[in-house]
């Protein structure tokens, strides 16, 4: 069995495959199966092991075939959503290779050998129990150790399963399936307890009573205009209008900002779902899941998303991203959100690679051709890729000199974002030349941070912040939001405290959409906006509450302050919104609201 699992590992990861790395993990999981077997008496034990062999072999067989087509591993969410994906174009038969049938050779030959094994003498119950406990302890102990190690190296990977193939190639496919079943059970239990009708009504009314999105300025200003949204990978705000050795890091965005409405207090609010959470919030104004990635857990829900609301106004919507379509479950989630088409890596010609995959240069160029041919009015949602952590494809980012930061994570990030800025600049220029700018609202924002907390010192140094503290750090968790209107209308810098939850309500006002169930606010029109983070922290622009310290800070003075009734109200509103949003996702309430 371990040889078969190794064969599978070598098939899904050809470039970096290492027997040494994978073998101990596979051995540990096989030991667990053997451990269970040892409790049985001879005949039953052999039957148990033989059946396990058949089951596991079939699983490997299925996983191998599935990988041929989807470059992914079979998971419960995939099985659940099988119908959403539509018919698989090429038939399973064409994916079969004769070599795969070699996997079953031992299954055919084993019965003969098993027969011989029957001569072995019977173990006493005591021996069976001891050997089971010992072998199980070793197998489970090592398996747990490897899972733990992976969860430290890649936080959130285990609960969100955002990169399934990576888990399978690091831990083996058996461990992957066990983790998948565990996560599925967890989700099912969570969703299983029904929400009382009274509570459902309370939540529904919250949106009515709380009508933060009343009509105001710019209402309907986008009517009939196309909408182009670019979500930029790891575009953090501190690079905007910042120079290094007298050179601007993002000259193109800086120039574009002058012609646009630029929000300089816009926070990312992502949680474990990272990039996919940014997509979720932008399209739905719902909070990320309390645990795991909403894009996996709630992809079967009904959404009153941006594409769906625009559709009512005659828009067609497409999503574009130059990476594997299964990543962050986009194949399925984009469909659930009502995109008419999702162009993933396989829709592009991968003719230029930077970082994780298709370069922003090529992606934006090819996307422009697609967008140009889209029937108007349209909505195009683009997600870039090249400036992805760990920003180490330095040779392909060009030669932006970061002097003392050369070779550091920060220096490499600056190079990568300088590269992406250049590509966006090119894209905007071509868009302008095509005449689309005057018929479109163009939104650009960053999905989440670039510089992780363990690199805080180098960021503080770069920004001349001495002895940075937790408040400084939170205030740095901003991403730029740039909204460009035809003829450079409404340009200027807007300081309203806001975040990713607020984009949809803002667009909803601009396009006069009938979206009702949004937690964010239209930032052109709200005065006292509350920015709520998934961990319970929040800010109203004057006070910052940091939940991890349970402390309030005055943003202007940086001093810790004590609770007052206003802050306490905000704190309970924060908890209420997070709870309501969880309820909506866990109980698919939007479907229910729309029915009534």
Q: Which residue lies nearer to Mn ion by CB, 283 or 440?
A: 283
Buried b (16+ CB within 10 A) or exposed e, 380-397: bbbbbbbbbbebebbeeb
Q: Which residue lies nearer to ligand GP9 by CB, 275 or 586?
A: 275
- Contact status: 275 vs Mn ion (CB under 5 A): yes
- Give, as ranges, the residues between 381 and 420 that touch ligand GP9 (CB under 6 A): 383, 385, 388
**How far is residue 236's CA from residue 453's CA, in Å, rounded to a whole number?**
13
**Does the annotation mark 539 as catalytic?**
no
- Contact status: 275 vs ligand GP9 (CB under 6 A): yes
Q: How far is the CB of 493 from ligand GP9 (least distance, A)?
A: 27
Residue with CB nearest Mn ion? Answer: 275
**Strand ranges inside 55-180, DSSP E:** none
- Contact status: 327 vs ligand GP9 (CB under 6 A): yes
The token pair at 523 is 């930032």
Q: Is 355 strand, coil or helix?
A: coil
Q: Pick what 415 binds: ligand GP9, Mn ion, none; C-beta below 5 to 8 Å, kind-dependent.
A: none
Closest listed residue to residue 306, CA positions, set 594, 510, 479, 589: 510
Instruction: Select the span of 1-9, 141-149, 190-198, 269-277 touching Mn ion (CB under 5 A).
Output: 269-277
Instruction: Select the span of 230-238, 294-302, 393-401, 531-539 touching Mn ion (CB under 5 A).
Output: 230-238
Instruction: Select the span of 232-240, 322-330, 550-558, 559-567 touching Mn ion (CB under 5 A).
Output: 232-240
Q: How far is the CB of 510 from ligand GP9 (least distance, A)?
A: 26
Instruction: Select the span of 27-35, 212-220, 446-454, 471-479 touching Mn ion (CB under 5 A).
Output: 446-454
Which whole-number Å values give the CA distances from 302 to 187, 188, 277, 335, 594, in the listed order? Answer: 17, 17, 17, 11, 9
- Please tell me the total number of residues recorded for the chain in this structure: 596
CA atoms within 13 A on the CB side of 59: 21
Q: How far is the CB of 385 from ligand GP9 (least distance, A)?
A: 6
Q: Is 546 strand, coil or helix?
A: strand
DSSP 259-293: TSEEESSEEP---TTHHHHHHHHHHH--PPPSSS-
**How far is residue 260's CA from residue 441's CA, in Å, rounded to a whole number?**
10
Q: Of these, 159, 200, 271, 274, which contacts ligand GP9 (CB under 6 A)?
A: 274
- Give, as ranges, the residues between 147 and 166 that touch ligand GP9 (CB under 6 A): none
The token pair at 30 is 């096989």
Residue in 160, 170, 275, 574 annotated catalytic: 275
Sign of the torsion angle spanned by Cα atoms 507, 510, 512, 516: positive
Q: Pick what 412 binds: Mn ion, ligand GP9, none; C-beta below 5 to 8 Å, kind-dependent.
A: none
Q: Is 388 labelled as part of a ligand binding site?
A: yes
Q: Of these, 304, 345, 447, 502, which contacts Mn ion (CB under 5 A)?
A: 447
Q: Is 448 labelled as part of a ligand binding site?
A: yes
Instruction: Select the span of 380-388, 453-461, 498-506, 516-524 touching ligand GP9 (CB under 6 A).
Output: 380-388
**How far is residue 379's CA from residue 307's CA, in Å, rounded to a whole number?**
7
Q: How far is the CB of 234 from ligand GP9 (least distance, A)?
A: 7
- Phi/psi-derived region of residue 100, left when phi > 0, alpha when psi is between -120 and 50, beta in every other case: alpha
Q: Give how far the C-alpha of residue 73 lies from the chain's centroid of Cα atoms, to the nearest Å.
A: 17
Q: Of these, 323, 519, 545, 593, which contacts ligand GP9 (CB under 6 A)?
A: 323
The token pair at 220 is 């309907």
Q: Which residue lies nearer to ligand GP9 by CB, 30 or 280?
A: 280
Q: Which residues are catalytic?
A: 275
Binding residues for Mn(2+): 233, 275, 447-448
State the residues that interact with Mn ion by CB under 5 A.
Answer: 233, 275, 447
State the residues that interact with ligand GP9 by CB under 6 A.
Answer: 233, 274-275, 321, 323, 327-328, 383, 385, 388
């Amino acid at each position: 069995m371990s040889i078969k699992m190794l064969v599978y590992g070598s098939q899904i990861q050809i470039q970096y495959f290492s027997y040494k790395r994978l073998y101990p993990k596979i051995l540990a999981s096989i030991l667990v199966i053997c451990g269970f077997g040892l409790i049985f008496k001879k005949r039953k034990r052999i039957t148990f092991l033989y059946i396990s062999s058949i089951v596991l072999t079939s699983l490997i067989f299925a996983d191998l075939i599935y990988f041929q087509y989807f470059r992914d591993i079979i998971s419960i969410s995939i099985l659940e959503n099988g119908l959403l994906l539509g018919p698989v174009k090429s038939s399973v038969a064409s994916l079969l290779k004769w070599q795969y049938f070699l996997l079953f050779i031992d299954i055919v030959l084993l019965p003969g050998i098993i027969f011989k094994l029957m001569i072995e003498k019977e173990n006493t119950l005591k021996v069976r129990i001891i050997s089971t406990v010992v072998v199980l302890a070793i197998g489970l102990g090592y398996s747990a150790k490897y899972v733990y190690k992976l969860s430290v190296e890649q936080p959130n990977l285990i609960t969100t399963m955002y990169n399934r193939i990576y888990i399978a190639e690091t831990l083996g496919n058996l461990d992957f399936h066990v983790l998948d079943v565990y996560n599925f059970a967890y989700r099912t239990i969570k969703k299983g307890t029904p929400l009382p009708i009274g509570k459902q009504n309370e939540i529904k009314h919250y949106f009515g009573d709380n009508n933060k999105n009343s009509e105001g300025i710019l209402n309907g200003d986008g009517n009939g205009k196309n909408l182009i949204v670019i979500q930029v990978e790891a575009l953090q705000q501190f690079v905007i209008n910042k120079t290094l050795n007298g050179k601007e890091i993002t000259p193109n965005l800086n120039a574009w900002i002058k012609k646009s409405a630029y929000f300089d207090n816009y926070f990312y609010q992502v949680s474990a779902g990272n990039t996919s959470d940014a997509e979720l919030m932008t399209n739905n104004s719902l909070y990320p899941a309390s645990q795991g990635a909403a894009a996996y857990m709630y992809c079967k829900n009904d959404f009153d998303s941006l594409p769906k609301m625009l559709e009512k106004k005659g828009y067609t919507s497409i999503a574009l991203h130059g990476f594997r379509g299964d990543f962050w479950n986009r194949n399925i989630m984009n469909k659930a959100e009502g995109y008419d088409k999702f162009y993933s890596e396989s829709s592009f010609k991968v003719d230029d690679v930077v970082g994780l995959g298709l370069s922003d240069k090529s992606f934006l160029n090819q996307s422009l051709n697609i967008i140009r041919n889209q029937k108007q009015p349209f909505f195009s949602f683009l997600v870039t890729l090249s400036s992805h952590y760990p920003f180490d494809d330095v040779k392909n980012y060009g030669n932006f000199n970061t002097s003392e930061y050369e070779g550091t994570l920060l220096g490499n990030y600056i190079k990568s974002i300088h590269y992406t800025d250049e590509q966006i600049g090119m894209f905007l220029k071509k868009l302008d030349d095509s005449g689309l700018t005057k018929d479109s609202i163009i939104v650009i924002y960053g999905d989440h941070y670039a510089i992780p907390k363990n690199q805080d010192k180098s960021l503080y140094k770069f920004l001349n912040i001495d002895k940075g503290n937790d408040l400084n750090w939170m205030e740095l968790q901003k991403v730029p939001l740039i909204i460009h209107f035809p003829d450079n209308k409404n340009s200027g810098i807007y300081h309203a405290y806001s975040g990713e939850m607020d984009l949809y309500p803002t667009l909803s006002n601009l396009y006069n959409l009938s979206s009702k169930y949004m937690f964010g606010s239209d930032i052109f029109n709200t005065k006292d906006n509350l920015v709520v983070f998934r961990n319970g922290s929040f800010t109203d622009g004057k006070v910052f509450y940091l939940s991890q310290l349970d402390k309030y800070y005055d943003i202007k003075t940086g001093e810790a302050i004590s609770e007052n009734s206003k802050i306490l109200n905000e704190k309970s509103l924060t908890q209420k919104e997070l709870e309501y949003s969880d309820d909506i996702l866990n109980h698919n309430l939007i479907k229910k609201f729309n029915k009534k």
